[in-house]
Structures are given as structure tokens and as C-alpha cells.
Amino acid sequence: MTHEFIDLPTVAHVEGAVRLPGSKSISNRILLLSALSRGDVAIVDLLASDDTAVMLAALRALGVQWTEEKTASGTIHHVKGVAGVLPNKSADLFMGNAGTAIRPLTAALAVIGGDYTLHGVPRMHERPIGDLVDALNAAGTDVEYTGNPGFPPLHIKQGKIHARRLSVRGDVSSQFLTALLMVAPLMAREHAIAIDVVGELISKPYIEITLNLIRRFGVKVEQNGWESFTIEPGQVYQSPGTIHVEGDASSASYFLAAGAIAGGPVRVEGVGKDSIQGDVRFAAALEQMGVRITMGDNWIEARSNGVLKAIDADFNHIPDAAMTIAVAALYADGTSTLRNIASWRVKETDRIAAMATELRKVGAIVEEGPDYIKVTPPAVITPATIDTYDDHRMAMCFSLVSLDGAARKGNVMRINDPKCVGKTFPEYFAAFAAIAK
């Protein structure tokens, strides 16, 4: 079978500015909150990607009306809120491989009730959802597995919510807690609902995004550290009128790392020091590696300060952006260790195994563990053909291996299946080429 591929020539220097696409995490949360709210919402700069297309199609199948308006400066999506009552009581929904879509939507449909089936690509049927379903069913919903227990596909029927407290594991995916928080107001019609987190909560910055957006839609959440959350009764999501989607901080990581590796300055626009996304903390990790970082309200800039310093750090708070650090480690002055990244194993692919395999192809010595990866850079990076595992972040990360052409002029890195970047950043390779000098 022939794969489509893209060949990236070696590049000695990068500089320029990149306007980021909208954040996937923010886009899909805003879409669902807009649909559930009272009133009409205008969403400015919604990400156009596979994952948001999945959510938009699902909302339309559920009877939620939305239109897209093209303007001189971008797009505005107009969503008519249904105030928590879906027009269509049955639907068959294809969720692709979009975790940010299937998890909150499963919770919303389970709480609202009806006759719904949710399924996706084969990899989606290997991504766990059991902790979320267990929490929902314990509260009185009726969600059943039609394939392997603990995984999609799912069949949702009409249940009856009776619980006042729910508990959910926090150590597999923060999306389970996000899903429960987003639907808690629908459950708290007559009495308060409390959600307890069992175990250590991972990816806390993603929960911060969720809480920030829930509050933007007019619902108050009381927080007891990261252990429990309470939603008082009688609250309804209200349209904020117009809401802007920030640029994607995870996507910013590739361009900032490029500036760090191959000169710079490279500036990303659409995300800055006031961002609600935890992945802006990626810039601090680059600073630890010796990179010069400057920030404004709506931009971040990186430039090289010589050879990168090896890093040994806990990346539990920014698992997606941490993948970029694993590739940047190829350019460091020693062995780098990324710790506390067990969640990589249940993403679009098993990212620890995939990252180890592909880093070895370019000459790195790699040690992988259940929740860590150690990368020792090679003296010279070897050109290779990189497999991407239908994982957008693998493709974007490994584009960086084409940088620093001084060591190996004329050699080419090949990236298989480059179209997988459509999940979050369809124009990625064009944007990457634009900063290559």
C-alpha cells in the first residue's frame, strides 16, 4: 500500500510570524456549551478541523441549528441554543477520533436522555471511556457498551438522575471530569450536584479551561482544590453573546520549538500571557532549555540561544505540548527525561511507544517506561521516513527534525500520511514552510 507523504528539505534557519488556528479544546467546549445554552451565540475564529467538524455534524444531527458566516477577518459561527432540550430524541452519531467531542457529548446525551448511538474510527474504540460511563450510570443514566466494555461504541437510553454526588477517576484522562462538569448544571435542576475526583487529577490546565468557559456561560462552580466541585441548583447556561476562540497553544509549540532550534525569532499570534490554556507553559519548558522567550498579550516569541540544554521535568500538566519537547531533545546537550506522561498511552495512538520508535529512526537512544521517556540525542540526526500513526501531533512534532540543516545539507526527512494534521491544523505544513529560510 502506498502512503501519501511529504518530503521536508533540511532548513538551517527559521524566522517569521504564524497566525495560529483556533484551539481545539476551546472550540469543542464552546460548541457544546453554546448548543446547551439559552440564547444565540456568535463564535469568532472557531477552529476549522476534523475534530470540530465532527462536533458540528453531531450537533446538527441532534437538531441544533448553526450557520457559518465568512467575514473579511475570519469566520463567525452562529449557534441557536436549545436551553438543554435537544430537538431530536434519537440520532446515530459518528465521532471520528475526537476525544474532545465524544466525551462531553456522551455525558450530555446521557443526562438529557433519548435513544442515541455514538461510534468512531477503530482507534476511538480503543480509547477508554469507562470511568466516565461508570460515573454517569452510578448517578442514574442508562449508557451501555455495544462493543468492548469500557470503550465506545455506546448506546444511550433514557435514564433518571437520582444522585447528588458523583465520583470520577482523575488519573486516566481529564476529559472525564470536563464532561461531568459541563453537564452538571443539567443534573442540578432541583438540588446541588457535587463531583469528587478519585486519585491524582492529571492535565489540570485542561480543567481550568473547562471551568473558565463554564463561568463565561453564566454558571458558578464552587471548587475545593482539585478534590471536588459543586454546582448549586437552578443554574442555566446563558449565551455570552459573542465569544472568541483563542489560538491553539498546543499548535504554538511546534513553531516556538522551531525558533528555539533554528535561530528565530519565530512569533506565534493568537495566544499570549493572558491565555486560559495551560499549554502556554510550554514556553517555560523551553526557557529551562535555554531558549529566549518573550510574550505579549496575544503573542509569544522564541529565539535560539545556542545549543539547547537537556531537561528533566514533570510534564503531567502539558501532555500534548510535551511531545514537542521530546523532539526538541534531539538538539539538546545531553539526555532529557520527560516524566509523568502516562496519559500519552491512551491518546490518538500510544504516543510513548510511537515517539520512541520514530526517535530511534533518526538516531536517538530512547528509553521508554510506563509513564516516562528518556531521549539521548545522536551526534548527527539521520534522515528517515517517519510514520505518523494517524496522529496529528506525531506529524507536526517530527517536522522539526528537518531543522538545523548545517549538519546535513541536502538530506530529506519524509513524513508519511501528512494529511493527519487535519485533525487540528489542516494548513500546518504550509505554515511551517513559510518560516523556513
* CB-CB contact of 174 with 201 (8 Å): yes
Contacts of 272 (CB under 8 A, 6+ apart): 280, 295, 296, 297, 298, 299, 300
- Amino acid identity of 433? A
Q: Is the dihedral of CA 144, 148, 150, 153 positive or negative?
A: negative
Separation in Å, CA 419 to CA 29, 392, 415? 24, 8, 10
Scored b (16 or more CB within 10 A) or e, 282-300 reads bbebbeebbbebeeeeebb
Instruction: Specify the DSSP class assigned to residue 387.
Output: P
* CB-CB contact of 7 with 413 (8 Å): yes
- Cα dihedral 255→398→98→125 (10° resolution): -160
Q: How far apart are CA 325 and CA 309, in angstroms?
A: 11
* Burial of 306 (C-beta count, 10 Å sphere; 0-12/13-18/19+): exposed
Which candidate, 261, 342, 353, 269, places its Cα nearest to that of 308? 261
Verify whether residue 333 is a known catalytic residue.
Answer: no
Q: How far apart are CA 311 and CA 313, in angstroms?
A: 6
Of the residues 50, 248, 279, 320, which is catalytic? Answer: 320
The residues assigned a catalytic role are 320
